[in-house]
């Protein structure tokens, strides 16, 4: 992130790798499924000029406003949809973006969301336990923390945060609720997760609650399944992920869609009828350069994958 006056400007991750991976061409149609602050969208619109068009999607209305400001110099070349990418096909059909030359996903939490007051995403800022991408969503992190049973909480922390101390943290939460603020929760987690760690003791807990609140992994699965249907032949899909859950899900989907039969090995004749829709471009994941990590530490965990529509 960079500050321009009182405004925070989003610094996108692996921009050139994304543009190259998409094989952006002048006049192409592209879908940014997680438009965020508009940094990647800006680069794609520049590379696809003249004549290129972009559809930006984001569940967070604040992100849509930020992208609108960032892309104001490309009037007529983009459209923005405040919606969840789980509805990818319907959104693309509504805006006339199908078939397209490329779809890309920059997954996870943006720096703008983390830094914004009152959102409840950060354990370093005092705020209510919210963590919703959109106010239209009903369930907040406070609802989960204060109403789930100990077993349900432990399952959330283990499944979505891969937190080794999930049961101990869940037990402590249940014993001390209601919890109302981010700092209350973070302080409580620190009483369970002790010792020196590479990341803050509350990192996995906050990640797990955010993913659960926003149903992120299920929505990503829905979006990925729809992606081949909006891509034209030779169109590219690119994912950028920041933690192992997202990356495993993207990797598994890429591999699945690059083979014809999904039947178990013991089945002698294919009965699933599955046909490959993608060709893998990256057999091995692409990571940021050392120079980029030095400039933008947020990029250090990023992993980029590319596939092409058959």
Looking at 190, 214, 238, which one is the last position of a domain?
Answer: 214
Cα separations (Å) of 66 from 38, 58, 98, 134, 166?
Answer: 7, 11, 25, 15, 36
Pairing state between β 278-280 and 303-309? antiparallel
Of the pLDDT bands very low, low, confident and very high (cuts 50, 70, 90), residue 220 is very high
E strand or H helix that includes residue 11: none
Residue 49 belongs to what domain range? Answer: 2-106+216-309
Chain-wide mean pLDDT for the chain?
Answer: 94
Q: Are residues 98 and 144 in the same domain?
A: no
Q: What is the pLDDT of residues 253-305, one digit of tens each?
A: 999 999 999 999 899 999 999 999 999 999 899 999 999 999 999 899 999 99
Tell me the average pLDDT across 114-121: 85
Are the beta carbons of 245 and 211 closer than 8 angstroms? Answer: yes
Looking at 171, 196, 214, which one is the last position of a domain?
Answer: 214
Q: Which of 22, 31, 25, 28 is nearest to 90 (CA)?
A: 31
Percent of the chain at pLDDT exceeding 70: 96
Q: Are residues 42 and 186 in the same domain?
A: no
Looking at 179, 214, 249, which one is the last position of a domain?
Answer: 214
Q: Are residues 102 and 220 in the same domain?
A: yes
Flag whether 112 is in a domain: no
Are the beta carbons of 274 and 261 closer than 8 angstroms? Answer: yes
Distance CA 82, CA 91 (A): 10
CATH code, domain carrying 233 = 3.40.50.150
Distance CA 44, CA 31 (A): 10
Q: Are residues 278 and 190 in the same domain?
A: no
pTM value is 0.93
Are the beta carbons of 188 and 176 closer than 8 angstroms? Answer: yes
Q: Are residues 151 and 163 in the same domain?
A: yes
Total number of domains in the chain: 2
């Amino acid at each position: 992130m960079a500050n321009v006056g009182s405004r925070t400007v989003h610094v996108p991750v692996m921009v050139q790798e994304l543009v190259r991976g998409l094989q952006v061409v002048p006049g192409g149609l592209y879908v940014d499924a997680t438009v965020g602050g508009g940094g990647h969208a800006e680069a794609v619109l520049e590379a696809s000029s003249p004549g290129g068009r972009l559809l930006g999607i984001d569940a967070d209305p604040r992100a849509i406003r930020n992208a609108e400001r960032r892309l104001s110099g490309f009037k007529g070349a983009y459209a923005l949809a405040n919606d969840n990418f789980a509805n990818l096909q319907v959104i693309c059909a509504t805006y006339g973006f199908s078939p397209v030359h490329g779809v890309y996903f920059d997954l996870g939490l943006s720096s703008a969301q983390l830094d914004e007051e009152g959102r409840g995403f950060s354990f370093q800022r005092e705020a209510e336990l919210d963590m919703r991408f959109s106010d239209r969503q009903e369930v907040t992190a406070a609802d989960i923390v204060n109403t789930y049973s100990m077993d349900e909480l432990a399952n959330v922390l283990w499944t979505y945060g891969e937190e080794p101390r999930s049961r101990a943290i869940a037990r402590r939460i249940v014993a001390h609720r209601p919890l109302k603020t981010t700092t209350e929760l973070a302080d409580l987690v620190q009483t369970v997760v002790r010792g020196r760690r590479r990341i803050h003791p509350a990192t996995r807990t906050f990640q797990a609650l955010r993913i659960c609140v926003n149903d992120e992994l299920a929505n990503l699965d829905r979006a990925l399944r729809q992606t081949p249907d909006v891509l034209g032949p030779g169109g590219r899909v690119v994912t950028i992920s920041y933690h192992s859950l997202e990356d495993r899900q993207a990797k598994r989907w890429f591999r699945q869609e690059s083979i014809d039969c999904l039947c178990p090995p013991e089945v002698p004749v294919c009965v699933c009828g599955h046909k490959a829709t993608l060709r893998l471009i990256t057999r091995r994941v692409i990571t940021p350069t050392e120079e980029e990590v030095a400039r933008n530490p947020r990029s250090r965990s990023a992993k980029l994958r590319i596939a092409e529509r058959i």
